[in-house]
Amino acid sequence: MIGQNPLLGKLISIHPVSPAFVQRAVIVSVLSFLFFLGTMSGFYFSPNLLYFLLSTAFLIVYILTMFSWVSIRKNVLTIYENGFRYKNFSARWDEIDSFNLKVMSRLLSGEKIEFKLKKKTGEQIILNESIYQINEAIEKITDKI
C-alpha cells in the first residue's frame, strides 16, 4: 500500500532533493554538452590535440554530472508517523539517541544547515539544505523526538 510502511506507520511527508540542486545539475550538464560540441567542431575544422583533449574533458564532466543527477534523485527524505527514512538510513523515533542542529550563514548562498541525527546503536546521518523544505522536515522530526 502506497504511503504506509509496516514498521514506520503512515506517511506524513516526502521531501525530495531541492529544486535548486537539480537546477544546478541541469545547467552544468547542458553547458558541458554545449562546450563538448563546440570543441569537437573546433577539432573537426582544425585537427589540434588541444581541441580533442578539451572535448574529452567536457564529455567526462557531462557524463559524471548526468550520473550524479540520476543518483541524487533517489535521495528522498520520507517522514512517517513512527519514524523516517533517508537513503539507506531508517529509524523509529524511539531509536534516536540525540540530534544536533547547526546553522551557518553564508555570504552569497544563504544558510548552510546541518542536522545530525544519531541512533542509540551509534549509526548517524546528516541532513542538509539539499533536501527540499528542510526546515519543515526538521520541525516535524524534532516534534516527534
Residue 32 confidence (pLDDT): 93
Question: CATH number for the domain including 119?
Answer: 2.30.29
Residue 1 confidence (pLDDT): 43
Among 72, 93, 109, the domain boundary falls at 72
Does one domain contain both 12 and 35? no
Residue 5 confidence (pLDDT): 60
Residue 4 confidence (pLDDT): 57
Q: Reduce the DSSP state of residue 127 to 3 states and report it.
A: strand
Among 72, 95, 111, the domain boundary falls at 72
Does one domain contain both 11 and 60? no
Q: Is the dihedral of CA 26, 32, 33, 34 positive or negative?
A: positive
Does one domain contain both 34 and 89? no
Does one domain contain both 10 and 81? yes
Does one domain contain both 12 and 27? no
pLDDT per residue, tens digit, the chain (145 aa), is: 455 566 777 888 888 888 888 888 889 999 999 999 999 998 888 888 888 999 999 999 999 998 888 888 788 888 888 888 888 888 888 888 888 788 777 767 677 888 888 888 888 888 888 888 888 888 888 887 7
Does one domain contain both 65 and 31? yes
For the CA atoms of 80, 83, 84, 85, the dihedral, rounded to the nearest 10 degrees, stands at -110
Q: Is the pTM here over 0.95, yes or no? A: no
Which H or E run includes 84? strand 83-86
Question: Domain range holding 118?
Answer: 4-16+75-144
Does one domain contain both 122 and 99? yes
Among 28, 57, 72, the domain boundary falls at 72
Residue 109 confidence (pLDDT): 66
Count of domains in the chain? 2
Residue 60 confidence (pLDDT): 93
Picking from 44, 85, 73, the residue whose alpha carbon sits closest to that of residue 132 is: 73
Does one domain contain both 28 and 84? no
